[in-house]
Amino acid sequence: MTRTRLIAALVMAPAAIAAILLLPTPWLMALTAVVFMAGLWEWFDLADVRDSLARSVLLAANLALMVALVWASRSSAGFSFVLLQLVSLIGVVWWLVSLLWLGRYEFASDPDSHARAIKLAAGTLSLVPAWCALAWIHGEDGDVGHRWLLAALAIVWAADSGAYFAGRRFGGKLFKGRRLAPRISPNKTFEGLLGGLVAGVAVGIGLGLFAGASVAQLPWVVLASVIAVLFSVIGDLFESLLKRHAGMKDSSQLIPGHGGVLDRLDGVLAALPAFAVAKALFGF
C-alpha cells in the first residue's frame, strides 16, 4: 500500500504544483471548483444521499453559490476579496464548532432526514469556505500569492506524510499507547500528530521564505503552520467520523492508495481557511 500511495502521490503532486504556480487565479478557481465538486459528490455518500437527481440538484446549488460569490465580488473597480474573506472566516468558525460534534460521536449518526440535512449543511460549510480561502490566498498577494498557496497546501501534505510515517515508526511508543481519537480513527496516534507538526512547520518555514517572508516574520509563519496542521487534523477526523457513521473505509476508490478525492481534501478543507485567516491576522 505504501508503494502504491507513493506512486499516486508522485503523479498528483507535480500536476497540482504546476497548476498552483502557473495558472492565473480565475483558471485555478475554475479547476479547483471541479475538484471540490467531485469531493462534494463523495460527501453525498457519507450523508446517505443516494438519489442521483437529488445529488445533482445539491451539487448544482453549491456550484451556484460559488458562482454567486464570484459574481458579487466583481465591480467596475476590479475584483474584491471581501466576500471570500468573510466566507473563509465562517469556515474557521465552522471547524471550531465541529469540535463539539467530534466530542459527541453519536450526533447525527442515524440515517434519517434530520441527520442528512445536518451533514449536507456541513458539506457546504466545509467545501465552499475552503475554495474561497484558496482563491483569496492565490489571488490577493499578486506575484507571491501562488507561492503562499503552495506553502499552505504543502504544509498539509507534509503534515499528512509526517503523521503517517511517524505513526508507523513510533506509534504507541512515546505516549504509552494513547490514541488521538480511538473511537473515530483508532490508527491515529499522538506520535503521528507530533510528526505531522514537525513536518508541517519545517515545510512552512522553507516555503514561507520561498514566498517572501522575512526572518522577522518567520515566528508568525511557524504559528500559522501549527494552526494549519491542527485544523487539518480536525478536518481529517471529521471525515473519519462521517465515514464511521456511513460504514465506509474510504470516500471512494478513485485514487489508488489514497481512496477518494475527499480523502485527499479532508485536511485541506479545514487548513486552508485557517491558514488564510492566520496569514491576514499575522500580517505576512
The domain spans of the chain are: 2-282
Mean pLDDT confidence for 250-278: 88
pLDDT tens by residue, 182-233: 889 888 899 999 999 999 999 999 999 999 999 999 999 999 999 999 999 9
Predicted structure pTM score:
0.93
Mean pLDDT of 131-141: 95
Please give the average per-residue pLDDT across 225-247, as a whole number. Answer: 96
pLDDT tens, 101-119? Answer: 999 988 988 877 889 999 9
Measured distance CA(263)–CA(253) in Å, rounded: 10
Closest by CA position to 36, among listed 15, 59, 16, 55: 59
Distance, CA of 248 to chain centre: 20
What dihedral angle (degrees, nearest 10) is formed by the CA atoms of 206, 173, 193, 115?
160
- Structure-block grid coordinates of residue 20: 498552483
Under 8 Å between Cβ of 122 and 269: no
Instruction: Tell me how many degrees the CA angle 86-99-13 measures, rounded to the nearest 5.
Output: 70
